[in-house]
Structure 1
């Protein structure tokens, strides 16, 4: 199966292990607790630990943790990270931005590399 980066529509691949459609997803996840004071880093760190322990490819930047995997797995880890704080009784916010692109993997590194290539060609 060949995937065309410029195609509007792709064939959805089937995961050979599960037999289910594989909907590759790149997500920016931000979880924070409210009412904890001016420094939320200790709470954000708890949520990021859940994401990192998921085993999904991820990277953390100043505002979000970017994650890549099957849609169901990404949604689960986002929910689990939010629950980590909510189950402690904190009012919790979850910001989730996703790019669901069947047929593509490795987009956490490929997308920035493509932008760098385009910028380098100018």
Structure 2
């Protein structure tokens, strides 16, 4: 079982003040390629896995956004770390229909 939930909202600066959505899409692509469980929400994406693995994904996201042309990236990150195990499903099951 995973020991960490990490929620991230990337806020990429765009070179020309344009739309940031293509950069957000690129960040989500990095997550998709990582093979961890994740859920995309309106304002952030939550990942489930091992702490060290998730932090490496955040690093790859930042690297990908810079490579895509963003001059800088701010991320707001929330981490819930439970060595005994944690899951998105368990935390939210009582709210699901």
Q: What's the TM-score, normalizing by structure 1?
A: 0.69
**C-alpha distance in 1, partners of 2:47/2:82?**
14
Shift of 1:79: 1.1
Task: Specify every segment of 5 or more residues in structure 1 that has no aligned partner in the other structure, as ranges.
Answer: 1-21, 118-122
Query: 2:88 & 2:2 partners in 1: Cα distance?
Result: 15
- Separation of aligned partners in 2, 1:71 and 1:77: 10
Corresponding position: 1:32 with 2:11: yes
1:103 to partner: Cα distance: 1.5
Q: Distance in 1 between matches of 2:2 and 2:85?
A: 9
2:82 alignment counterpart: 101
Secondary structure (helix, strand or coil) at the match of 2:28 reads: helix
Higher relative contact order (CA 8 A, sep 6+): 2
Q: Contact (CA 8 Å) 2:12, 2:70: kept in 1 or not?
A: no
Q: Superposition RMSD on alpha carbons, in Å?
A: 2.2
Paired position in structure 2 for 1:49: 29
TM-score of the superposed pair, with normalisation by structure 2:
0.85
* Number of matched pairs: 95
